[in-house]
Amino acid sequence: MKLIVKVFPEITIKSRPVRMRFIRQLAKNIRAVLRDLDPAVVVNGVWDNLELETRVSDPKLLKEMTERLSCMPGIAHFLQVDEYPLGDFDDILAKCMLHYGDALAGKIFSVRCKRAGKHPFSSMDVESYVGSQLRRQCGAAGISLKEPQIEVRIEIRDQRLFVIHSQHDSIGGYPLGSLEQTLVLMSGGFDSTVAAYQIMRRGLMSHFCFFNLGGRAHELGVMEVAHFIWKKYGSSQRVLFVSVPFEEVLGEILGKVDNSHMGVILKRMMLRAASNIADRLQIDALVTGEAISQVSSQTLPNLSVIDCVTEKLVLRPLIASHKQDIIDQANEIGTADFARHMPEYCGVISVNPKTAAKRGRVEHEEKAFDMAVLERAIENARLVPIDRVIDELGQDIQIEEVGEALAGQIIIDIRHPDEAEDDPLDVAGIEVQTMPFYAVNARFKELDSTRQYLLYCDKGVMSRLHAHHLLSEGHANVRVYRPS
């Protein structure tokens, strides 16, 4: 299979050195993302696009390649093509007949030709000749440039002809690794996940920082959604997941800070900690999912008071976004279900939160706060490569596993819906239910408590993690299914 990868249009207006650097980085990223599917994949760069060749023929692997390229920053769209040496107009017609001839009978069509290089003819010359001959020889109903039922698409590059079969859109933006690094503050909800996506799409390599306010289930949920975003949109680069234990910091705030200032001061403590971690990682910018006045701590006066604790640039890609627009984009990128099922945690609840906190008053309230508590939280932060975060989380968890399901037991397939749909689990004589891992914590309590449930996933890691959490919540009727 051959693909022509069209780069994001903004890349093409850069200076020559920047443009070439971006295209080289994109080619490197494509090889990294597809290497496990085809170790011999070939990606060659030219001035305004890349050409990708693979000898993989398995439809399942080709579909996976297409899905990965459709989620890669830096790509506007890509074309599946067949390549031929450029001949005369009759030869071009023959190649178009070969691929489109049978489909044109009784249909209204158009011919689209793009051309690069020096030729004694124009693109319109090709379109006119090929279109008239296809109509005559294939029994087409007519030609319409505005509303064709079928588009015959070709590209001519120097002495090569490409007949285009299909076009797949991607997400645009700049290639990851071509710009600076950021540290994204992640809560796992709609806002922070969409903010992370938007920053990654713009080409900024993003590490993830989570402040654990006391919930093991919440930490697991954020790890899962961070891993999902990285795997789908950023796996060409290795980044870190940072988990900062903030329970003691929260306790200090609850015990020593005036109720109306708790939210602002908690955000200030998070920015202080994130700035310290960013310094350690040599990162100059922080990213949050805040939007103007969505909650009390996100008014302009409060954001100003929050930001003054750090010299880092704080990026807020959603600052002027409406909540529904954020939710809509979360649905588009695949994080909405995670957000809807994100476990709750005990946060800071102010009865009458300040919407216009004064810096002097906030600093006065912070004088009672023991900064050694914040320093301990930073020292105890765990930094784990994002590609190993789920595996490492499940290493020390001992859960009973069974290799064979018994009559009356129910297997719950907790894989992502896409995986479960592509490769359904079928066990003879045993009921199998699907319940995505991000919904297990919320929905398991709705099941019949008198039945025995076996959690299943491909590697057994996610199933162990969620079984462990359910057991800790008092559900004794859960095990892990690991078929031999």
Catalytic residues: 457
**Distance between CA 87 and CA 82 in Å, rounded?**
15
Alpha carbon 106 to its chain centroid, in Å, reads: 42
For 102, left (φ over 0), alpha (ψ -120 to 50), or beta? alpha
Tell whether residue 185 is among the known ligand binding residues: yes
**Distance between CA 391 and CA 380 in Å, rounded?**
20
What is the phi/psi pair of residue 261, to 5°?
-110, 5
Least Cα distance to 34 among 46, 22, 26 occurs for 26
Tell whether residue 74 is among the known ligand binding residues: no
Cβ atoms < 10 Å from Cβ of 297:
25
Tell whether residue 289 is among the known ligand binding residues: yes
Which residues contribute to the annotated binding site for ATP? 185-186, 267, 289, 298
